[in-house]
Amino acid sequence: MATVQTGTVDVNGGEIYYEISGDGPPVVLVHGFGVDRRMWVDQLDALSERYTVIAYDLRGFGKSSMPRGTYRHYDDLAALLGHVGVEDVSLVGSSLGGRVALDFAIAHPEHTRSVITEAGVPSGFDFTRPPGTPPGPNRALLRNTLEILSDEKAGFLKSMVADYSRWHRKNTDPRIEVEPPAIGRLGEIMAPVLVTVGSLDEPDFHRAADMLVSGIARSRTHIFEGSGHLPNMDAPEEFNRVVLDFLDLNRHYSLSR
């Protein structure tokens, strides 16, 4: 198991918690809504053999502070990278984390080497959930995800969701995304992008994947057959292989191209 360095960085009135392991070109793992950096436990050892892996808690989740005013997830990430002395990165983002990664690629293209999304959606994407659905983990999505996972993994996911503060259900999130939203600016993303989704995930995420591949010039897709919303958890060996193959392929991608 790789040695893990932990720390926090003060950003715009908040504190962002992070963990770093491994050695090599930097890769940032960005978790989804209602969970935290621990969702990547099956990726850390595999990726840190070849890469410096940075896993962190988004503002409002895990060990990071709750929002206390307007903020931008992608600027929090930029500040974190500056704090740890990293110039450019590859990003692996799950669901909300994919949204953050895409916003970052638009707002900070000079720091984006490549992007991998897992059930990622661009900012500005309209979900087909009924009006008035409260923010937070989608119960049906969570239920379907748990059914696909092994008992051990399902228990682990339940524990992460139980640890989630539910802050977003009780407060109006002052988060700011890129403006105009990423959904109309996908053509601005010049870095290579791998768009992934589980075959059993909800239709919205397949629709978003189609949008991303259609709108981003240097993109391709991978479908995890038999997987749900979290292929990194229900099919970790395949997920790690696909991610490492893409990272290795673009290891020497020049940001100046």
Tell whether the model's pLDDT for residue 211 goes beyond 60. Answer: yes
Q: Which amino acid is at 78?
A: A
Q: Which segments within 122-248 are labelled E, that is strand? A: 193-198, 219-224
As given in the structure block, the two tokens for residue 120 are 């990622």
Q: Which amino acid is at 114?
A: S
Tell whether the model's pLDDT for residue 176 goes beyond 70. Answer: yes
pLDDT for 189 equals: 97
Q: Which amino acid is at 20?
A: I
% residues pLDDT > 90 (the chain)? 88
Tell whether the model's pLDDT for residue 20 goes beyond 90. Answer: yes
Tell whether the model's pLDDT for residue 257 goes beyond 50. Answer: no
Query: What is the DSSP secondary-structure string of 59-109?
Result: TTSTTSPPP-S-B-HHHHHHHHHHHHT---EEEEEETHHHHHHHHHHHH-G
Among positive and negative, which fits the CA dihedral 168, 39, 189, 224?
negative
Mean pLDDT of 92-118: 97
- Which residue, 48, 25, 187, 33, is CA-closest to 114? 25
Tell whether the model's pLDDT for residue 3 goes beyond 90. Answer: no
d(CA 114, CA 109): 10
For strand 193-198 and strand 219-224, is the pairing parallel, antiparallel, or unpaired?
parallel
Cis peptide before 180 (omega within 30 of 0): yes
pLDDT for 137 equals: 57
pLDDT for 1 equals: 66
Which band of pLDDT confidence, cut at 50, 70 and 90, is reported for residue 139?
Answer: confident
Cβ atoms of residues 131 and 68 within 8 Å: no
Mean pLDDT of the chain: 94
pLDDT for 101 equals: 98
- Which residue, 144, 197, 136, 140, is CA-closest to 161? 136
Mean pLDDT of 41-67: 97
Write the DSSP symbol of residue 165.
-
Which band of pLDDT confidence, cut at 50, 70 and 90, is reported for residue 253?
Answer: low
Of the CA atoms within 13 Å of residue 164, those in its CB half-sphere come to 24
Which band of pLDDT confidence, cut at 50, 70 and 90, is reported for residue 129?
Answer: confident
